[in-house]
Structure formats: structure tokens, C-alpha cells
Structure 1
Amino acid sequence: MINKRTSYLVASALLPLLGLGLASNVHAEDVKPAEQVTQVVKKQSAPQSISQQVEKVQPSKKVQSSEVQTPKAQVSKTQASKVQSPKATVQSAKPKVKEQFNTTVNKENQPVVKAPVKKVVKPQGSKKYLNGYATVRSDNYTIWKDFNWTKQTAVSSKNYYHDTLKINGKYNHQNGSTYYSMWGLKGWIGYLNSNALYAVTNSEQGSKIIDSQYIGITKNNYDLWSDFNFNHSKGSTKNVYQQTLKSTGFYNSYNGRKYYSVYNNKSKWQGYLNANAAKETSSNGYWISGKQNIQIAKKDYDVYQGFFNKVTNTTNLINQKYVVKGHYNNFNGYTYVSLYTDKGKWVGYVNSHAVGQPTVNNKVLLNVKPIGQNPEFPTGCEAVATTMMLHNAGVNVSASTVVDAMPRSTDGNYGFVGNPRSNTGLWIFPPAMVKVARKFVKTAVDMTGVTFAQIKNKLNIGHAVVAWITGFGGSGTKYNHAITLIGYDLKKVFFNDPWSGKQLSMNISTLENYRKRDLYRTISY
């Protein structure tokens, strides 16, 4: 039998719930077991402790099938006596729970409402991945470390002005700007506003920087490319060596190389040229040093000081002899030599067509003192022949210095094979020897493959030439030798022979036969 205390507690707990319609949150396990309720329950308030427990039940808690049913009408005295046992199923109206709220149950088996889950949208938006390149066009934009607008330390677009950088993504910011994630060869750089860049491209050459300027070709072993796939060469700088060309713009490639878009003086495109093969200059070209003796051979050529200030005319100077210390190869296609008197007084610049070599019986002979290689350099003929060429260029250097400047290698194209101070030494070839010569004369050039007519052109302007020959002389020179060519006449060529230390001559046809056996290897300046 249920005692009065138990019946009172059950009735007191149920009636407030029935009246307020909150029974949907009462679990069956919260109702105390009772065998039967027989007495009529009077309307009265539940004890304070019970009432507080009921208020803690949240309306969002799910209703279990075993919970007490919620009656549709107020409970009468008769109905109150018919309370079901805990085994009966208690039903309730479904609570109205907002979808954005989630609930969990705490340790006291009470539901806990979580805060609404909101999707966070960053001001810069989500990253859109891409793979491209862009050239920096402005030097006054900040490079950002993050979108809290933290500046990269001591870095701005000025540090990368006209450089081509890599892009791996972009952000369309709420402020209306687009920001790219920029990378260089050494790693990530930062975020940069798209307004600081030229258009994004798939080519790592980036965009062309329009910049009209003149360039002088300083190297003779670079290709002029028809495109940036580097599959087709339009020619070699050997054909335009020391000439002045015009660039209409350049590309700063992502790989760190700069390429000019080059035209000649007839506005014909020559190709893309690596900037390492040229130097920026004026339309007059760059200064090329070289000493030679000349005489004025033609009239009606103006003589200038400063290229625009005419001071005299060759008509007044005909047949006079001067010393040329250097020249300019102008963009207009003409060469202008710088004239000095034999006492060192400067006269001015004149078109090279107005001058010629002092000749006797169609003979050209440069004043170059012979140097012998023996006994100090029994296999160092190339170094000694080059030393004489450098003396002709006005460089005061010893053969020992030139020998020491030669690299050593097992391949003659990269250095001397063996020891030039030993009888067992072998050779060094133009690709390596010309690099040694450039340490003393920057205009030294590998002329391998040239004809004798081209050698004569060098001799005509006073430049000595080193030629590799095979078959000349005795056992010390028969298989490989180098000599310094210093002149010619109608039939013969004049040269300084390092082996004998003397000035000698041979037939031009004989020289060409020896040169052919040694693959026409030649250098000059």
C-alpha cells in the first residue's frame, strides 16, 4: 500500500505540470513508483523543493515514450485518482525548438542548449588556387604578411619592381581589391594587390616592359631566340658582335634572366637576347679600345668632337697620319674612330671609311715585338702568342702572368691540359684561352672558323691575331702550335713564332693549310 506521504508527493509533482502543459520534459524515471493511487488529490501547491526541480527541466529536451501523458483538459478530482503507473507510456506535445540550436545532456541528465553555430566568413574570402606568373608594374604597394594587414618587414613592391613572380592563388577581398599570393625563387613573398601587377600569364617570362633603348653586343656566343620556348635560334651574337642594336623592351623572367627584344637599324627584328650578352648604351655605341696607326685616305668626311660638334673635314687632313686609340660602332651602321696625333693630342671622331692603313707595296705590318717561349714554357705557345697579342692591344703583361691565369683541365676547351712549364704539357683551345685574354682586354673574341679575309680585316685596323696551326716546324710544333699574326702582303703572312722567338713569314696558302688541320682555331680582340 502507498502511504500518504508517497501519494502526496506524486500528486503534488504531477498537478503543476498538467496545469502548465510542461509534462513533455518529465522522464518516466523522474516519477516515483506507485502501486495505486486511491485518494482524491486536492488542489494545492507542491512543496518548494519539488517545484524547483520541475523548473530546471528545459522544454527542448526530447520526450521519451515512457513519459507521463499530458491531458488536454484540467484534471478533475475523479481523474486525479486515476494516475497511471510508471509502466504506462506518457506522451506530450512536441516542443518548438529553433533549428539553429543544438542540445546535449549534462551529468544531471538535464538538457543544455548550445549557442547557435555560425559560419565564419573571412573578409578576404576563400583562396582560389591558380598557377601563373605576373610582372610587378608599380613600386609603391605594400606587401602584406597576412590579412590583418601586417606588413612584410622591409619589403614592398619596390623590391620586386619589374620582376616576374609566381602566383599560386588569389583572394577577392570585401574591400573590393584582389590580392595574389606571390612567390619568388627563394620562397613565399606575401600578398600583393593586383593593381601592382601586369596581367597574369602562363609564361614565366612575364610581361614585356616597354623601354626603348640602345644596346651594344658584348658577347659573341649567345643565341637570338625566336620565342621563349628556346627551340629555334634566329642567329648568333657572333654575327652582330660589338654592333649597336635597339631594344623596344625587355622581359624579366621568373628564372632571374633578362631578355631584350632586339631590332637592327633597318627595323628588322633580330630576336630575344639574354641581357648577359649586351650592355646598355647610346645610339653611338660603346667604347671599344684598340690602338692602331692610320692615315686619312678619303676627302669630304667631317671630323667631330662629341659627335655633334663639327671641327674640321678630312679634305684638310688628307694623307696625314694619326693614331687611333679606339672606336664606336654607331647604330647607324658606321664605325667612328678616335684620332690622336703622334704627340697624343686628340683630334676628334671620324667615319672609319675615311681612313686606311699606311701601306707599302700593299703590305700591312704591325709593330709587335717577338717573345720566345723557351726554355721557361716549352709547351706554353698559346699563352706566349696571346701575350704578344695583348702587347699589341696596349696591355703590359708578362707571359708568366698569362700562363698563371690559365685554368687547368683534362679538356683543352676548358683549360690547359698538363703543365705548360713541362715538356709533357699538351694544349689549350680558344674557348678557354679567350677567357684568359678577357681578363686583360674585355673585347677579346673567339674567331674560330673565320677566313683569312676576316683575319686581314683585323690586321687592317691594327689588331694582332692568334692562330692555331698543325704541321708547322719540327717536333716541338708539328702536332700543335700557336702563332701571332701581325701582317700580310699580296702573297705572304707575317707572324711572331713563340718557339723560335722570331718574326717569320710563310705563304698565305700554306698558313691556310695549317689552319685547316687545326680547325681554324683563332682569337683576337
Structure 2
Amino acid sequence: MLLNKVPQRFQKLILAYILLFFFLFCLSVYLSPEVRKFVQEIRTEAKPTEERKEPFQNQFVKEEEILLNAPLVSQLPELPRGCEVTSLSMLLQYAGVNVEKMELAKRIKKDPTPFQMENGQIFFGNPNVGFVGDMYNINNPGYGVYHKPIKELAEKYLPTQIIDLTGKEFNEIEISVSNGFPVWIIINTRYSKLHPEEFDTWNTTRGKIRMTYREHSVLITGYDKNYIYFNDPLTGNKNKKAPKPDFIEAWAQMGRQAITYSKD
């Protein structure tokens, strides 16, 4: 070897320089952008599957039973048809918003289409557009309002927190309540599935809709194995209960309409 021809006193010094050069070369290769990117890709692919779950997977828990202490607000006597805005007032007050039912009744979007009967057919407003008819006087034609205008009104008070659960499984409502968030829903005054003859069909500016004069809105506050608990603005009962299977069927029959909120 060439190193053997070098005086012994210089051999160690030369060997040290060789090792230093090799170390600096390896370091420069590792720090190059192409190599670092390659190493990062290998590490990402090697991560266990459980470390790459969806952002909100398993974020919420569901208790076996729960009962929230949401405020009770009666729609009577001022709002005989104001169950929807009254239930919304309970939801917002529980969320810490100081708002009364009368303010919500004034601010809810309205569908001004007048009631007409022609050739045995009803022509009236669409609750998906806004409140239909007279909310204040039961002697005048009127109906109610569905979840979309209610959601839009709720967002004026909690702009980034309102969650639309419409169309979801009822289990999603239970999860929300279990985590401390009551849920506004549309149901009927029997809290069980209605017979087909209790429904009618209206003509609206957006086509025909199927409706029932038993339409109602409550605030779900709890559940257990057998019952759903809710604040009823019409009867004035706090944490009123109804059999769970019947309640869920009635809710589904009215279009699975539900909204709630979350923390910022």
C-alpha cells in the first residue's frame, strides 16, 4: 500500500484526513434536497396505518345515557305557531347567546306566498324557503318553517359553529347530545309515525310539497336505552320523554331535519 511508504509519524495524520473527508462527503450527500426528499418519502410510507387516521375520527364519545339541562322556553301565548324559533331560542341560549323567541320570530325568513284554494288544491308557501303563513294568530292560515331557514338564522348568532345534521342517522344526534350539544329537530306532535291520511300536498312556487298540520319542533336534551328526552315549547314540559323507536320513526318521516352547534 502507498500508506506503507509514508513515514509512520505521518500515517495517523493522513488516515484522520481521509476519515474527515469521507464524513464531510456523506454529510453533504445527506443534506442535499433530493436525498432528504427521498428519505422523507420512505419514512412516510413506513408509518403504521393507525397514525394516519382521519382528522376527526374517534374525536367524540357516546355515553349510554345523558340528560342536558337546557333552558325551557314556551312558545305560548305569543307564538302559537312558533315552535321552530322557540326551540331555536333554547338551543342558542344553551350555547350562551342571549336571544329571545320574539326576536327570532321577527328575524326568521318568511315566504310571503298567500294561502289560496283553487279547484280543491292548496296553493301556499314553502317551509324550505321561509316561514309559511301567520306565526302569531292561529285563526289565520299558517304552517311553519323547516331546517334550512332556521340554520341560516342560527348562523347569524353563531357564524362558524352551526352544524346541519339533516339527513344523518339518529346516532349522530345522540353523539352530539352525549358531548354536551342539544339538537333542534322537526318532528310531529304525536312523537310517533303518522298515518298517510294525516298528510296533505301543497302547490308552492318551487313545486309540490307533502306536509302535515301536526308538524312540530322540539329541542332534544337527552336519551337512554328506551327513551328520547326533549324540551317541548308547546306543552311547556322540560325533559319530556317519548319511546325511542317511535320518536326516531317520527323524526325520519319528517325528513330527518336537525341542527346543532359545536365549540369554536
Aligned partner letter, 1:505: K
Residue 478 of structure 1 and its aligned partner are, at CA, apart by: 6.1
Name the counterpart of 1:483: 218
1:463 has 2:198 as partner: no
Q: For the Cα contact (< 8 Å) 2:78–2:136, is it kept in 1?
A: yes
> For residues 449 and 375 of structure 1, what CA distance do their matches in structure 2 show?
32
1:511 has 2:229 as partner: no
Name the counterpart of 2:170: 452
> For residues 466 and 498 of structure 1, what CA distance do their matches in structure 2 show?
12
Name the counterpart of 1:85: none
1:197-208 map, 5 Å: none
> For residues 222 and 133 of structure 2, what CA distance do their matches in structure 1 show?
32
Residues 487/384 of structure 1: CA separation in 2 closer, same or farther (3 Å cut): same
Q: Deviations over 1:295-319 (max 9, x none)?
A: xxxxxxxxxxxxxxxxxxxxxxxxx
Q: For the Cα contact (< 8 Å) 1:471–1:478, is it kept in 2?
A: no
> For residues 352 and 515 of structure 1, what CA distance do their matches in structure 2 show?
26
1:271-286 map, 5 Å: none
3-state DSSP class of the match of 1:490? coil
Aligned partner letter, 1:436: L
TM-score of the superposition, structure 2-length normalised? 0.60
Q: Per residue, is there more helix in 1 or in 2? A: 2
Name the counterpart of 2:257: 521
> For residues 478 and 507 of structure 1, what CA distance do their matches in structure 2 show?
22
Which ranges of structure 2 fall in alignment gaps of 5 or more residues? 1-43, 45-52, 112-124, 192-197, 199-211
Name the counterpart of 1:379: 81
Name the counterpart of 2:108: 406
Residue 516 of structure 1 and its aligned partner are, at CA, apart by: 2.3
Residues 334/434 of structure 1: CA separation in 2 closer, same or farther (3 Å cut): closer
Q: For the Cα contact (< 8 Å) 1:471–1:514, is it kept in 2?
A: no
Name the counterpart of 1:368: 70
> For residues 392 and 452 of structure 1, what CA distance do their matches in structure 2 show?
21
Q: For the Cα contact (< 8 Å) 1:468–1:518, is it kept in 2?
A: yes
Residue 402 of structure 1 and its aligned partner are, at CA, apart by: 0.9
Match of 2:147 among 419, 424, 430: 430
Q: For the Cα contact (< 8 Å) 1:470–1:479, is it kept in 2?
A: yes
Residues 332/510 of structure 1: CA separation in 2 closer, same or farther (3 Å cut): closer
Q: Deviations over 1:405-458 (max 9, x none)?
A: 101102211110112112132111111110011111122233211221110111
1:184-223 map, 5 Å: none
1:439 has 2:156 as partner: yes
Pick the structure with greater CA Rg.
1
3-state DSSP class of the match of 1:457? helix
> For residues 365 and 390 of structure 1, what CA distance do their matches in structure 2 show?
17
Q: For the Cα contact (< 8 Å) 1:472–1:481, is it kept in 2?
A: no
> For residues 384 and 471 of structure 1, what CA distance do their matches in structure 2 show?
15
Aligned partner letter, 2:248: E
Residue 363 of structure 1 and its aligned partner are, at CA, apart by: 2.0
Identical pairs, percent: 26
Q: Per residue, is there more strand in 1 or in 2? A: 1
Q: For the Cα contact (< 8 Å) 1:472–1:478, is it kept in 2?
A: no
Aligned partner letter, 2:80: P
Match of 2:95 among 393, 410, 432: 393
3-state DSSP class of the match of 2:132? coil
3-state DSSP class of the match of 2:248? helix
> For residues 392 and 370 of structure 1, what CA distance do their matches in structure 2 show?
10
Aligned partner letter, 1:508: K
Q: For the Cα contact (< 8 Å) 1:494–1:505, is it kept in 2?
A: yes
1:144-159 map, 5 Å: none
> For residues 215 and 78 of structure 2, what CA distance do their matches in structure 1 show?
18
TM-score of the superposition, structure 1-length normalised? 0.31
Residue 334 of structure 1 and its aligned partner are, at CA, apart by: 4.5
3-state DSSP class of the match of 1:426? coil
Q: For the Cα contact (< 8 Å) 2:165–2:172, is it kept in 1?
A: no
Residue 479 of structure 1 and its aligned partner are, at CA, apart by: 1.4
Which ranges of structure 1 fall in alignment gaps of 5 or more residues? 1-265, 267-330, 336-350
Name the counterpart of 1:89: none
> For residues 502 and 463 of structure 1, what CA distance do their matches in structure 2 show?
19
Name the counterpart of 1:210: none
Q: For the Cα contact (< 8 Å) 1:470–1:517, is it kept in 2?
A: no
RMSD: 2.7
> For residues 86 and 105 of structure 2, what CA distance do their matches in structure 1 show?
8
Residue 352 of structure 1 and its aligned partner are, at CA, apart by: 4.9
